[in-house]
A and B are shown apart, each in its own frame.
Chain A
């Protein structure tokens, strides 16, 4: 990867164009229908270089004899029309292609290398998934049902497949991301209580190890957050939970396995306790991958859950989105499923198509291997590195696990380790999360990485542990082989520059 220091605005030169559009018609002030003539004055509508001298060819416009043209908007009642100049780049098509190709070459993706990013499930994104989408691009979201029977069949298939995989009854596909799913799911939880006339349930219980989105989603949904503590072994403390339960509890949000990669083995007791107090159980599907093909959240007693199709079901992350976070519910909540309208149309259909392709390729045969192989990879790395990285919890993990920094740090932090990994061609793990450990370094390998890749990662992690002892400065100043060095984030936040200014 090399450094390329341009923004598209810096390639701009007045008169260049990158578009290819039909010709627009004639000026507003022109003669009546059928008598259109070239216009005098400013503003090129058809010229290749967009300059005024070339003149107008309004007779080649599609509607040239209608003469209802927008061109004259400046001369019309000015109130409704834009007066300020529109600053956009003026660049040719080859400029655009080369610029964005150069930008892409400063990026790292799953196709570039290993991404051991905890809680993000960066598995391989199959290429066939991308291929199937294009043939649905032309469908308008409000088309009548009888013109989109294929779409309906795909949604029905996905509903049934996800219900089978998770043990839930039905799904809504409106949410566009995991956090959006959490919010939609919590709305369903509240609606369930509202409909029973039970308005006192305004609290939701969230473990201290939960993803940050859990309390944030609960707050957006108008719920008060009550934190339940983890025990030293990393699992939810059932004894701490008991006194929190009561008639004001709407439910609990759980991630299982939790963010330490540990299976909450007391889940049955927790489910019974929460149900007994009248609350519901929400399953945060961010960590569903190790259970794929092995355990169904519905069987564990969860009432509501979301899935991250961009994690467990292989759709690409796209640099931060679009994703998809369908929400599944148990039988009792099915009638409410369409109540919360949290996005504009039918959810991210293009992403749902990709996940559908993945499920069909997995099939009932391969699905049973997905979770176990992800779990195998995580435990393999954990066992191979626990002598040089601090492993606070020794138990068998699921798809991910957490180190608490180097065994012998010698002043080297988790951030230093993460940045040094970039030099060796690996993405960094998730760092400083979960908050339970000060030097948290959270690794999730997924089932699509080969033994050779895992071994290469393990070798590099060991090498970095050695470097920490021999040359800590090398790590403090890492990375050294990336397009840029460590940025000054303090200045970025103190004096924010958030747009290009010429």
Chain B
């Protein structure tokens, strides 16, 4: 740790010259950098060389990542299952890469964070608009963890109750995350396809019910009468939804849900191998103070101007510690900005058009696949939007491999032996026709 003038300044992120270091050590009154660690027992000082690569230059780093990227195959994505290949307008990365947004911290100092606070307020408003609910928070890590927070919120809102019913139609990664959180926080999680029956059976301990708006087979679910049943039981209804689809499918508010959660990824966020994405959470105003996470509110400053601040902070960990509504303290702010810009560009008409394109493409693919005679439709007559599941009459693994060989990621297998397909507005008719052709050839 001795400053060596030859090395100082050699690394572009460290501004210190050897002379600077000398000057600073003198001010502190120590002789060497090592003296700054005199309180650390010497057995804990790592004296050897770290087994890490030698520092790369930018030129070498670019080559390193190019090499890594070349070992991946970019496929034409016909799979959803919680991550959707929607189109990203060029404006979004341009805006979100502005360093005033990118390199800012959580907006604690509202006087110099109005940019962040305003877009979060816009995000909250848009999430309320999509879900139909009254209040939204500044965002969560992702959809599955937001669902887990909603499960905990049900328990908190109903005080001493502890059972949560989750539909088996939720995405597998949502169910797994629910199981994980339930296991350690001691919540009694009941998974079932028969949600109505489970609620009707009646338990005094029921805190909440979590159902998908669109299930893991792509079917749009009807929750007619469910909210009344859940509320009669004294519990809360949570709906897990795809925010893009909420432009056309019945909203959580319309179904009578108390809480809506889901993943904002479908609002133009790149797949990026699973993250970063952004969870969202909205609820009826009566549960506002039980919401986890950051919340931005409107107020006025000393001169009476409209300004925005982080508010209702007494719910949060830095004040409440173990009594907080959650341990969460970050929000996926930059990705929330990503979605906010997306929704601004799309507007009501664009978002509806995205859904129309998905719907048409998916139904076209569905019809073409059924016409091959290689599939049965286990959900015939049920409505779907962009994703659907079929029972293959051929070897599913072989089918998926044949598609992969031709550059398609499609026919994802479910635990029931179905294969799922998803079509977004990015898929062209030519791609779909080519996919069907591969399917036909694979079966020969």
Direct A–B contact in complex, judged by CB atoms less than 8 Å apart: yes
Which A residues lie within 8 Å of B20 (CB)?
A: 450-451
Contact A320 to B333, CB < 8 A, known contacts A66-B364, A142-B412, A222-B185? yes
In the complex, the answer to whether A69 meets B348 with C-beta atoms within 8 Å is no
Chain A, 112-142, CB within 8 A of any chain B CB: 112, 115, 117, 120, 122-126, 128, 130-142
In the complex, the answer to whether B124 meets A80 with C-beta atoms within 8 Å is no
In the complex, the answer to whether B323 meets A219 with C-beta atoms within 8 Å is yes
B301 to chain A, nearest CB (A): 4
In the complex, the answer to whether B302 meets A477 with C-beta atoms within 8 Å is yes
In the complex, the answer to whether B114 meets A106 with C-beta atoms within 8 Å is yes
In the complex, the answer to whether A295 meets B111 with C-beta atoms within 8 Å is no
In the complex, the answer to whether B248 meets A372 with C-beta atoms within 8 Å is no
* A139 to B72 alpha-carbon distance, docked (Å): 8
Interface centre among B14, B104, B316, B429, by most chain A C-beta atoms within 10 angstroms, is B104
A482 within 8 Å of B (CB atoms):
yes
Contact of A177 among B118, B328, B345 (CB under 8 A): B328
Contact of B306 among A5, A18, A142, A496 (CB under 8 A): A5
Contact of B72 among A150, A177, A180, A500 (CB under 8 A): A150
Which B residues lie within 8 Å of A484 (CB)?
A: 110-111, 114, 301, 303, 305, 307
14 additional A-B pairs beyond A320-B107, A322-B276, A496-B297, beta carbons within 8 Å, are A7-B118, A69-B360, A108-B109, A111-B100, A138-B85, A220-B326, A296-B46, A321-B335, A344-B174, A379-B28, A379-B36, A484-B110, A487-B111, A496-B311
B321 to chain A, nearest CB (A): 4
Contact A369 to B11, CB < 8 A, known contacts A19-B350, A139-B273, A349-B274? yes
B378 within 8 Å of A (CB atoms):
no
Contact A143 to B295, CB < 8 A, known contacts A122-B105, A341-B177, A383-B27? no
Which A residues lie within 8 Å of B437 (CB)?
A: none
Show 9 residue pairs from A and B whose CB-CB distance is below 8 angstroms, ordered by the A residue: A21-B353, A82-B250, A126-B13, A212-B318, A263-B40, A295-B37, A319-B101, A484-B301, A487-B299
Which A residues lie within 8 Å of B37 (CB)?
A: 263, 294-295, 372, 375
Please, which residue of chain A has its CB at the minimum distance from the CB of B400?
A144
Which A residues lie within 8 Å of B56 (CB)?
A: 360-361, 363
* A216 to B91 alpha-carbon distance, docked (Å): 38
A389 to chain B, nearest CB (A): 16
Which B residues lie within 8 Å of A368 (CB)?
A: 1, 50
* A342 to B414 alpha-carbon distance, docked (Å): 21
* A20 to B35 alpha-carbon distance, docked (Å): 61
Contact A419 to B177, CB < 8 A, known contacts A19-B346, A97-B94, A136-B72? no
Contact A451 to B23, CB < 8 A, known contacts A318-B102, A496-B288, A496-B311? yes
Which A residues lie within 8 Å of B14 (CB)?
A: 366, 369-370, 373, 447-448
Convert B172-211 into 0s and 1s, putting 1 for each residue whose CB lies closer than 8 angstroms to a CB of A.
Answer: 0110110111011110000000000000000000000000
In the complex, the answer to whether A87 meets B101 with C-beta atoms within 8 Å is no
Which B residues lie within 8 Å of A186 (CB)?
A: 184
* A479 to B253 alpha-carbon distance, docked (Å): 42
A77 to chain B, nearest CB (A): 8
In the complex, the answer to whether A88 meets B347 with C-beta atoms within 8 Å is yes
Which B residues lie within 8 Å of A131 (CB)?
A: 62
In the complex, the answer to whether A86 meets B135 with C-beta atoms within 8 Å is no
Which A residues lie within 8 Å of B68 (CB)?
A: 150-151, 153-154
B212 within 8 Å of A (CB atoms):
no
A160 to chain B, nearest CB (A): 8
The 5 closest A-B pairs by CB, nearest first: A363-B55, A345-B274, A141-B274, A318-B334, A150-B71
* A153 to B72 alpha-carbon distance, docked (Å): 10
Convert B322-364 into 0s and 1s, putting 1 for each residue whose CB lies closer than 8 angstroms to a CB of A.
Answer: 1110111111111101001101111111111111110111011
A239 within 8 Å of B (CB atoms):
no
In the complex, the answer to whether B112 meets A357 with C-beta atoms within 8 Å is no
Which B residues lie within 8 Å of A142 (CB)?
A: 79, 81, 83, 409, 412
B370 to chain A, nearest CB (A): 12
Which A residues lie within 8 Å of B298 (CB)?
A: 492, 497-498
In the complex, the answer to whether A486 meets B44 with C-beta atoms within 8 Å is no
In the complex, the answer to whether B173 meets A344 with C-beta atoms within 8 Å is yes
B126 within 8 Å of A (CB atoms):
yes
Contact of B348 among A87, A138, A161, A373 (CB under 8 A): A87
In the complex, the answer to whether A482 meets B111 with C-beta atoms within 8 Å is yes
Which A residues lie within 8 Å of B348 (CB)?
A: 85-88, 90
Q: Interface size on B (CB < 8 Å)?
A: 211
Chain A, 313-340, CB within 8 A of any chain B CB: 314, 316-323, 339-340
* A339 to B278 alpha-carbon distance, docked (Å): 23
In the complex, the answer to whether B50 meets A364 with C-beta atoms within 8 Å is yes
Chain A, 153-169, CB within 8 A of any chain B CB: 153-154, 161, 164-165
Interface centre among B11, B300, B305, by most chain A C-beta atoms within 10 angstroms, is B11
In the complex, the answer to whether B383 meets A216 with C-beta atoms within 8 Å is no
Which A residues lie within 8 Å of B319 (CB)?
A: 212
**Majority SS at the chain A contact face:** loop
Contact of B309 among A9, A105, A419, A492 (CB under 8 A): A492
In the complex, the answer to whether A320 meets B138 with C-beta atoms within 8 Å is yes
Convert A467-502 into 0s and 1s, putting 1 for each residue whose CB lies closer than 8 angstroms to a CB of B.
Answer: 000000000010100111111110111001111100
B222 within 8 Å of A (CB atoms):
yes
* A143 to B71 alpha-carbon distance, docked (Å): 13
Contact of B300 among A71, A139, A359, A488 (CB under 8 A): A488
Contact A70 to B36, CB < 8 A, known contacts A109-B102, A179-B329? no
Which A residues lie within 8 Å of B30 (CB)?
A: 379, 396
In the complex, the answer to whether A101 meets B95 with C-beta atoms within 8 Å is yes
B296 within 8 Å of A (CB atoms):
yes
In the complex, the answer to whether A493 meets B312 with C-beta atoms within 8 Å is yes
Contact of A138 among B108, B251, B270 (CB under 8 A): B270
Contact of B70 among A7, A126, A150 (CB under 8 A): A150
* A82 to B348 alpha-carbon distance, docked (Å): 12
B419 within 8 Å of A (CB atoms):
no
In the complex, the answer to whether A93 meets B91 with C-beta atoms within 8 Å is yes
Convert B125-164 into 0s and 1s, putting 1 for each residue whose CB lies closer than 8 angstroms to a CB of A.
Answer: 1101110101110110111110010001000000000000
Which A residues lie within 8 Å of B27 (CB)?
A: 380, 383-384
In the complex, the answer to whether B351 meets A86 with C-beta atoms within 8 Å is yes
Which B residues lie within 8 Å of A107 (CB)?
A: 100-101, 104, 112-116
In the complex, the answer to whether B409 meets A140 with C-beta atoms within 8 Å is yes
Contact of A363 among B1, B54, B148 (CB under 8 A): B54
Which A residues lie within 8 Å of B82 (CB)?
A: 141, 344-345
Which B residues lie within 8 Å of A351 (CB)?
A: 275-276
In the complex, the answer to whether A318 meets B28 with C-beta atoms within 8 Å is no
In the complex, the answer to whether A348 meets B275 with C-beta atoms within 8 Å is yes
B317 within 8 Å of A (CB atoms):
yes
B444 within 8 Å of A (CB atoms):
no
In the complex, the answer to whether B61 meets A357 with C-beta atoms within 8 Å is yes
Which B residues lie within 8 Å of A316 (CB)?
A: 102-103, 334
Which A residues lie within 8 Å of B70 (CB)?
A: 150
A241 to chain B, nearest CB (A): 18
A278 within 8 Å of B (CB atoms):
no
A408 within 8 Å of B (CB atoms):
no
Contact A486 to B331, CB < 8 A, known contacts A25-B356, A215-B321, A497-B297? no
A100 within 8 Å of B (CB atoms):
yes
Contact of B109 among A124, A182, A293, A418 (CB under 8 A): A418
In the complex, the answer to whether A70 meets B40 with C-beta atoms within 8 Å is no
In the complex, the answer to whether A17 meets B65 with C-beta atoms within 8 Å is no
In the complex, the answer to whether A91 meets B51 with C-beta atoms within 8 Å is no
Which A residues lie within 8 Å of B28 (CB)?
A: 376, 379-380, 383, 396
* A12 to B102 alpha-carbon distance, docked (Å): 26
Please, which residue of chain A has its CB at the minimum distance from the CB of B57?
A361
Convert A293-312 into 0s and 1s, putting 1 for each residue whose CB lies closer than 8 angstroms to a CB of B.
Answer: 11110011000000000000
Please, which residue of chain B has its CB at the minimum distance from the CB of A83?
B254
